[in-house]
Chain A
């Protein structure tokens, strides 16, 4: 009894923190979205749900329904994030796999190297890329010399030589992958590290080839890590507006985060901005529920042994 209360007490600051900085803040966004503005274009939140005004929400939903700009940027955002996550996995999984299972005594060092990018601010790392990818930058020259530039041009992913910063969707996606891939690798390393080597040995003993042992044992057992990593990178990517702004600023790479930024920070339509924020949050909430359900199911499967 006593210890149960101790733990509840220990959890209290965290719960209070979440309540104040998440629930209250989120409720404020809801009340702005279901509120109105005054003649000074300042938002007037309606705190009582009985007073809520659905005018602005319906206006945004109508915009989606008619396939106007909010639908355009939402679909584009989902596309960019999906491709970026797939690339993150493609790059991150082998790295995580090697670190967790084959690095031996170098594991600690590798982990430190993986965490190293976190020492430098995300914006700084993006700004560095702007100079690297400038028409006469080192990065541009290197991509040219090793043939990647030509490959991108022939695949129609780059419009001209040295044009990485000319408002290319591919540049935004590459920047996403570069900026967020460490967040994906770390949970993957943990998940892969926890896999019992004996299960893989057992698969091999029962006649599985290394490939099929990987496909049928390692990969399913690392599913929780994959999902956790994907969620960790998807959440910030969906709201990101400064990466497309910095490396492109083209209208062809305008994401939902850019629209929200435009309405709330630069513009005077804070209510519309709050509605878009709310819709994005609900979408992310759905993804989170899917993640929680899957990991819980996976946890139950693991618990059955």
Chain B
């Protein structure tokens, strides 16, 4: 309510405000009308074949920075450039401290301590939550990381395009050829292992509580179907909270039904959104949860059936069993072919201050004894070592027989598919389908 005396003054002010408002509105409309209207990323036009020959080839989507996207049928050798050479042979080891960049809780502190003792150098850790965050921080370059752990094929082009890595000198890494699976000696995404060496591998599968879920999931024709028949476990069923793992699950299920090998790195929006629609059905079937806490909720019984990373089940069996519950209640099944496998890298940062010590760190963790202790004493994710397999772990009483298939085998690794970097456009299709699914 205005006082009568105020009226003239206020009305003038209101008038002015109204005028200003409409002026802003008009100019905004004017501005927007003249604006660019695109969702095509900057710099996406360049690259690829040019000239008359380009008409003769079906163009493949290009990766970040216009780089080719590595695929099993399109192996890539990353160049070693003059301005970013590997270190020379036979250099003295620096005294550190070694800066390591890693996911939280993803390497065994006790094994790291042994490394420190052996080389008389301290190791400092910084952690990240997502690979996107890690790449962004590496690109910002505020910290010169010596060793980067945990990035994978989904990031490889980003790392190379921004020259965030230093090429490796294999004379410091004798354990690579000695201990690591032949499948990962010369991978298609980095021929000659010029910039990456494998840290651990895992696969996507199904984790369940065999005391609560009665079906013989591993014995089903298409084990993935269990999620679409999970009404009895309503509210206690989960899908991995990751767009690539999550959406590729129904793709694998379809592939098992049709027998047609899927492309889990597809950029076809129709295939991607179909996968999203199939996941959506789970809302009504089991009120599906979308989480990555299965390593804890399965042992605790808060979930009984979960789309899972193989390492989650092993970590769960190693550490998260509540008092009085035997790890025997945990089961895991992973596909022999056409499923998801992944390989996390060890890399050396381009601006490493201790490159020799960094090579020694890699070689130390490629040593069987250290890879083993890091795996069974802490990490739960399998190092791709020739002499570490499920039989060994069962024989030593470390894991129950029900978790045999949570230890990825080399043949499984070869017949399944790694999730790899997509083009920006492809990435958007996956993000959009995932957003539609998670929105319920």
Contact = CB atoms under 8 A, between A and B. Distances in A.
B213 interface: no
Interface in B378-392: none
B38 interface: yes
B32 A38 contact: no
Contact of A36 (B1, B42, B234, B288): B42
A74 to B, nearest CB: 10
B43 A39 contact: yes
Contact of A49 (B31, B234, B236, B434): B31
Contacts of A269: 427-428, 431
Interface in B123-149: 129-130, 132-133, 135-136, 139
A223 to B, nearest CB: 15
Given A37-B424, A159-B287, A249-B291, A267 B43 contact: no
Interface stretch (A54-62, A94-102, A149-157, A208-216): A54-62
Contacts of B291: 249
A41 B135 CA distance: 11
B289 A301 contact: no
A29 to B, nearest CB: 17
B31 A50 contact: yes
Interface string B148-173: 00000000001001100000000000
B37 A72 contact: no
Interface stretch (A111-119, A185-193, A199-207, A251-259): A251-259
B266 to A, nearest CB: 17
A55 B158 CA distance: 24
Interface string B88-115: 0000000000000000000000000000
B36 A52 contact: yes
A294 interface: no
Interface stretch (A10-18, A162-170, A175-183): A162-170
Contacts of B242: 266
A53 B162 contact: no
B130 A55 contact: no
B288 A40 contact: no
B302 A53 contact: no
Contact of B1 (A42, A58, A168, A301): A301
A69 B435 contact: yes
Given A37-B424, A55-B38, A251-B439, A159 B234 contact: yes
Interface residues of B, number: 57
Given A167-B235, A167-B289, A251-B290, A39 B36 contact: no
Contacts of B189: none
Contacts of B35: 34, 52-54
B269 interface: no
B65 interface: yes
Contacts of B136: 42
A263 interface: yes
A285 B253 CA distance: 46
A262 B32 CA distance: 28
Contacts of B287: 159, 166-167, 250, 252
B235 A39 contact: no
B243 interface: yes
B41 A36 contact: yes
A265 B436 CA distance: 17
B440 A254 contact: yes
Contact of B36 (A42, A44, A54, A134): A54
A277 to B, nearest CB: 14
A68 B66 CA distance: 32
Contacts of A76: 440
A39 B65 contact: yes
Interface string B28-46: 0001101111111111100
A51 B36 contact: yes
The CB with the most chain A CB atoms within 10 A, among B139, B241, B439, is that of B439
A97 B346 CA distance: 61
A254 B239 CA distance: 14
Nearest to A251: B440
A268 interface: yes
B238 A249 contact: yes
Interface in B32-78: 32, 34-44, 62-66
A135 B302 contact: yes
Interface in B382-440: 424, 427-428, 431, 434-440
A166 B428 CA distance: 30
Given A251-B440, A262-B434, A300 B41 contact: no
Contacts of B440: 72-73, 76, 250-254
A34 B162 CA distance: 25
A261 to B, nearest CB: 10
B61 to A, nearest CB: 11
B291 to A, nearest CB: 5
A268 B44 contact: no
A40 B439 contact: no
A160 B287 CA distance: 12
A72 B439 contact: yes
B86 interface: no
B103 to A, nearest CB: 14
25 contacts: A36-B39, A39-B41, A39-B43, A39-B64, A42-B136, A52-B35, A52-B36, A53-B36, A134-B300, A159-B234, A159-B235, A160-B234, A163-B235, A166-B234, A167-B288, A168-B235, A251-B280, A252-B440, A258-B438, A263-B431, A266-B130, A267-B434, A268-B431, A269-B427, A269-B428
Closest 7 CB pairs of A and B: A166-B235, A251-B440, A69-B439, A53-B36, A55-B38, A249-B289, A55-B39
Interface of B: 1, 31-32, 34-44, 62-66, 129-130, 132-133, 135-136, 139, 158, 161-162, 234-236, 238, 241-243, 280, 283, 287-291, 300-302, 424, 427-428, 431, 434-440
Interface of A: 34, 36-42, 44, 49-56, 58-59, 68-70, 72-73, 76, 134-135, 159-160, 163, 165-168, 248-254, 258-259, 262-263, 265-269, 272, 297, 300-301, 304
Given A55-B38, A263-B435, 18 more contacts: A38-B43, A39-B42, A39-B62, A40-B64, A52-B31, A52-B36, A54-B32, A134-B300, A165-B235, A167-B235, A167-B288, A249-B291, A252-B440, A254-B290, A262-B435, A263-B431, A268-B424, A269-B428
